[in-house]
Amino acid sequence: MSMHRMSAGVSNSFLVSTRSKEALLYNDNSVNENGHAATAFRLLAQPSCNFAKDFEPEEFRFFRQLVIAISEPFLRLSTPWAASC
């Protein structure tokens, strides 16, 4: 699963400063990145995209927690290139 850029080409700062619905939803925290992760899981919920459809509920919970845990360091990057994301 790739959680690449699906934003409208605007920065997190712009989303926060304009009080976008996404910024409100994610409490101003890594708005684009959290949106990408949420979109990835929404896509995974579609039958044609759900490679995890045969996972037991416990397995899916573990998988989701793992994906979120792996993504978190990228959500908190403070490098110059990430600041414009």
Residue 1 domain flag: no
Please give the span between the terminal C-alpha atoms of the chain, in angstroms, as a whole number. 20
Residue 34 domain flag: yes
Residues 6+ away with beta carbon under 8 Å from 36: 3, 4, 5, 6, 7
Residue 5 domain flag: no
pTM for this prediction = 0.66
The conformation of residue 69, written as its DSSP 8-state character, comes to H
Q: Which of 17, 44, 12, 8 is nearest to 29 (CA)?
A: 12
Range of the domain at 49: 12-83
Could you read off the pLDDT tens digit of each residue along the chain, which spans 85 residues?
Answer: 444 445 567 888 999 999 999 999 999 988 888 888 888 899 999 999 999 999 999 999 999 988 888 877 666 654 444 444 4
Contact 22, 31 (CB under 8 A): yes
Residue 7 domain flag: no
Residue 2 domain flag: no
Residues 6+ away with beta carbon under 8 Å from 60: 52
**Domains in the chain, number:** 1
